[in-house]
Structure 1
Amino acid sequence: MSTTYLGIDIGSSQICAVIAEKDDVGMKVLGAGVSKAQGLKKGVITNIELASKSIKMALSDAKRVAGTHYDKVIVSISGAYTKSVDSNGVVNVPNHDIGIREINRAMQMADHNANIPHEYEKLHVLPYNFKVDEQEHIEDPLGMNGSRLEVQVHIITAQKSSLSNLKKAVKSAGVDIDNIVLGGYASAIATVNEDEKELGVVVIDMGGASCNMVIHSGNSIRYNDFLGVGSSNITNDLSMALHTPLPAAENVKINYGTLHASSSELIELPVLGDENVTHEVSLDIISNVIYARVEETLMILAKTLEDSGFKDQVGAGIVLTGGLTKLEGIRELATAIFDNMPIRLARPKEMEGLFETLRDPGHSTAIGLIMYGGGAFTPYEIDSNKKMRYKDESIEPGKNVQRILEEEDSMKLDEPESVESTKDKLARITDLGQQPKGDNALAKFWHRLTQLF
């Protein structure tokens, strides 16, 4: 049986829609469409109507190429909307056998304990550490024996108003969202391998008007941040420094952009305000302008990594992806600024049907979205629909995790089931359905006994 996924990456400079099919063999890309992003600024929707038109345009192209409809829709959200907190939850395991239900209970408890501002909504609840009884750093507690399960989680939240605007823009394009995924998380799914996750890795998606940073340590995300600077800032800098229109500055960046020392060769550019007049500009000046902006951006990101407290936990170094990483010389500059940490420039992982255009690092998030839909998320997660996801989702034949969990009665965090059953047992033992009357000593004893449970 196969499922078709639609991933929509709502980026700062472009909208990318990808349709892919997942079956028993693997995932295959069926179609894709790209349109220029309108109604967005630094990853934030500023005009719902324009944003919706851009989404509809990209989606129309993707559907035309794919020639098929989709079952599930996964949409990215910019890190500009988000805040993150850590939380933990503890549950008892009465039968001493830790199954998917016990893991879900622990994660729900951590979710319940989290202190989230009223105007924010949970997007991802990602466990990064389990503890069984006194044994810490359990990678996966499923199937283990223990009487107490504790979990520590990283919770990514998004502004309710921003989520609502995103849903409205996508809905206006004729699409109902099944899942919303942090853009940086999706980029990490598309670019990072298992060894890098285990050693600890920083993923930085350098896009059109923003940079999203995600730190993976162990099996999950431990930290995420956002910087509202991207390749469009380089275009603006060139336009001002060279006194030339923005379209001409963009062409200069694409055709002559480099971080290496350039020659003193001259090129002609139109003058801002009077495009019929041209003036000559040295390529050396162009490379200096680009170098200054990229250096500043990387220095801010290096400071963010330093302040995160996780720099010593990223043995695999830094993975750079996104359109800005196509600049010649960016790897060498990043290596110098990040204190000689290992730097890798990443494109999306290979899969069947992946078009040449989709192999561009600027499409890492879009590819990560369809991979997320196909199950390539962290080992355990509570998603944007508040449903638990599991890496395998085939615990019992013919059932996925959500169906297993839905078969249980809903659990009350404030009064566990075991409390009520203990009281019932006491009532049966004493053959009393209510508190004893007449004998004050017995009444007091009964009251104290029930209060213990």
Structure 2
Amino acid sequence: MSTTILGIDIGSTKICAIIAQKNDDGDVKILGAGIAKSQGLKKGIITNIDLASKSIRNALNDAKRVAGTQYEKVIVSISGAYTKSVDSSGIVNIPNRDIGIKEINRAMQMADHNANIPNEYEKLHVLPYNFKVDDQEFIEDPLGMNGARLEVQVHIITAQKSSLSNLRKAVKSAGVEIDNIVLGCYASAIAVLNHDERELGVAVIDMGGATCNVMIHAGNSMRFNDYLGVGSLNITNDLSTALHTPLGAAEEIKINYGSLKSNSNELIELPVIGDDGSTHEVSLNIVSNVIYVRVEETLMILAKTLEDSSFKEQIGAGVVLTGGMTKLDGIRELASAIFDNVPIRIAKPREMDGLFETLRDPSYATAIGLVLYGGGHFTPYEIDSNKKLRYKDETIEPTKHHHQETFDDGEEAEENEIGTLPASESNAKEKLKDLANIQEEHSEGFGSKLWNRLTQLF
């Protein structure tokens, strides 16, 4: 039975809604897509629910017009800015010595139960990265094995309850009820990684408009994730400030002339900020230098994040870069030098049926990953944001939403109520390190250092 999936990537610069269909043979086909400029979001965080809802509705309406169909399952991304992560483990006895899905679920639920999660956080993903049957470690898949005891080690992604509530409100105001919430860089990894990269271990860095999200895949699952509040919008701001030109003109320069290796002395004419009608000439060499300084600084922080993660030795396949910022000419060569010559790949979303030319861009990796996740392309075992075990080859049951078919931005759709998620365990001790504040850790002198380097260019 086919299922129609709606994926909504809520980014800092754009909202992308994709409607796709999972066919009986398991293939996912894209039926329609809609893109709208983000409003009410800053660095991946919702700052205005009404404006964010309007942007979501605009993207959704465009996707529905193209697809011409209803959707049954809704998957929404969440920025790493909201999240923290922790590892946990669980052990269960197997009385009948036959390990099935129920036994795997029991072990994962035990690991989930054993995790110390602060009261104000809610679990999004419980991802097993190592199974142990009796004394045998590194079991790839325990299903069908014989053993008296099953142990599992898991990586748990959590998000602030208040932030999740704001996300649900913004999406609901656009006429949609969320079925699953997925970490953005996890969705990106689903869209861009190949089998060899997963086997060897790999770091995925999604370099977006206002954020860079990092995840490391090792073993069977995600092992590490982090977030940096810097993106391609920072390049636009740098160009605007350094070249004394409006933000709109700076964005056009970045798109049309964005390069990290141009030595051209060709002059371009730019409007002067705050002086209507006035223009001045700027060398493309200066433009490249301004961009280079910001990108180099960003990549150096990301390289240190990988170094500090303690998983750098486990990324045999190197680093995969995706997201809109990777379209800058020369970024692969610069990243290779900064990441100590580990293999670097610039990744676009994987080819799939119905993929529009527009969506073959690295900036749509997260949105493509969401519909693939909804179609069953995920870690072999996982407890999702609904506390439900998902596993390979399971039958993905659609959630029947009765959405009113309307394209009037002023009207809201009708939805079925979905049961609320169970609350996190009470009296949990706060034990998580804040993995989402790399920027703060490195921010002392960061702005002034960057500005000093910019001013040296003139």
TM-score (norm 2): 0.86
- How do residues 52-451 of structure 1 correspond to structure 2 at under 5 angstroms? 52-393=53-394
**Residues 160-197 of structure 1, C-alpha deviations (whole Å, 9 max, x = no match):** 00000000000000000000000000000000011111
Native 8 Å contact 2:262 2:284 kept in 1? no
Instruction: List runs of 5+ in structure 2 lacking aligned partners.
Output: 398-424, 426-458
Report how far residue 300 of structure 1 moved.
0.3
1:231 CA displacement = 0.3
1:3 alignment partner AA: T
Residues 227-286 of structure 1 show CA distances to partners (whole Å, capped at 9, x for unaligned) of: 000000000000000000000000000111100032111111011101310011111110
Question: 2: distance between equivalents of 1:355 and 1:265?
Answer: 35
Measured in 2, the distance between the counterparts of 1:40 and 1:335 equals 32
Residue 21 (structure 2) aligns with? 21
Q: 2: CA distance between counterparts of 1:229 and 1:346?
A: 20
Structure 2 contact 28–352 (Cα < 8 Å) conserved:
yes
Q: What residue in structure 2 maps to residue 10 of structure 1?
A: 10
CA distance in structure 2 between the partners assigned to 1:275 and 1:54 by the alignment: 31
State the 1:93 CA deviation.
Answer: 0.3
How far apart, in 2, do the equivalents of 1:121 and 1:96 lie?
33
2:194 maps to amino acid = N
Residue 219 of structure 1 and its aligned partner are, at CA, apart by 1.4
> Equivalents in 1 of 2:118, 2:62: separation in Å?
39
SS class of match (2:146):
coil
SS in 1 for 2:277: strand
**How far is 1:130 from its partner?**
0.4
What code does the residue aligned with 2:151 have? E
Q: Secondary structure at the match of 1:276?
A: coil
Query: Deviation at 1:371?
Result: 0.1
User: In 2, distance between residues paired with 1:181 and 1:27?
Assistant: 18
Separation (CA, whole Å) in 2 of partners of 1:39 and 1:262: 38
Q: Which letter does structure 2 place at the counterpart of 1:333?
A: L
CA shift digits 1:50-75 (9 cap, x unpaired) = 00000000000000000001000000
Structure 1 distance, partners of 2:148, 2:76, is 39
Q: Distance in 1 between matches of 2:360 and 2:220?
A: 25
Output the CA distance in 2 between the equivalents of 1:28 and 1:116.
38
Q: Distance in 1 between matches of 2:165 and 2:206?
A: 24
Alpha-carbon deviation of 1:198? 1.0
Find the counterpart in structure 1 of residue 429 from structure 2: none
Task: Tell me how far apart the structure 1 counterparts of residues 187 and 61 of structure 2 sit (CA, whole Å).
Answer: 22
Letter in 1 for 2:144: G
CA distance in 2, matches of 1:311, 1:88: 22
| Partner residue in 2 for 1:435 | none
| Aligned amino acid, residue 55 of structure 1 | I
Instruction: Supply the distance in 2 between the matched residues of 1:142 and 1:340 (Cα, whole angstroms).
Output: 39
Name 2:409's counterpart in structure 1. Answer: none
| Aligned-partner residue type, residue 247 of structure 1 | G
Give SS of 2:278's match: strand
Secondary structure in structure 1 of the residue aligned to 2:313: helix
Amino acid at match of 2:126: V
Aligned counterparts of 1:173 and 1:309: Cα–Cα separation in 2: 41
For this pair of structures, how many residues does the alignment match? 398
The 2-side partners of 1:62 and 1:174 are apart by 14
Q: 2:276 is paired with a residue of what secondary structure?
A: strand
Deviation for aligned residue 1:312: 0.2
In 1, the alpha carbon distance for the partners of 2:285 and 2:276 equals 23
Distance 1:4 1:288 in 2: 47
Higher RCO, 1 or 2 (CA under 8 Å, sep at least 6)?
Answer: 2
One-letter code of the match for 1:198?
E
Shift of 1:88: 0.2
CA contact (8 A) 2:98 2:144 kept: yes
Q: Write the distance in 2 (CA, Å) between the matches of 1:355 and 1:171.
A: 27
Q: Deviations over 1:18-67 (max 9, x none)?
A: 00001123111000000000000000000000000000000000000000
Structure 2 Cα separation of the partners of residues 228 and 194 of structure 1: 30
The one-letter code sitting in structure 2 at the alignment partner of 1:14 is K
1:23 partner letter: N
Indicate if the aligned counterparts of 2:249 and 2:271 stay in contact, CA closer than 8 A.
Answer: yes
Deviations 1:386-432 (A, max 9, x none): 000001115xxxx98xxxxxxxxxxxx9xxxxxxxxxxxxxxxxxxx
Q: Distance in 2 between matches of 1:39 and 1:391?
A: 37
| Cα distance in 2 between the residues matched to 1:22 and 1:106 | 30
AA partner of residue 365 (structure 1):
T
TM-score normalised by L of structure 1: 0.87
Amino acid at match of 1:140: D
Task: For 1:133 and 1:181, locate their aligned partners in 2 and report how far apart those are by CA, in whole Å.
Answer: 33
Who is 1:410 aligned against? none
Aligned-CA RMSD value: 1.2
CA distance in 1, matches of 2:69, 2:374: 17
Q: Which residue of 2 aligns with 1:46?
A: 47
Structure 2 CA distance for aligned equivalents of residues 60 and 309 of structure 1: 44
Instruction: From the CA coordinates, give the structure whose radius of gyration is larger.
Output: 1
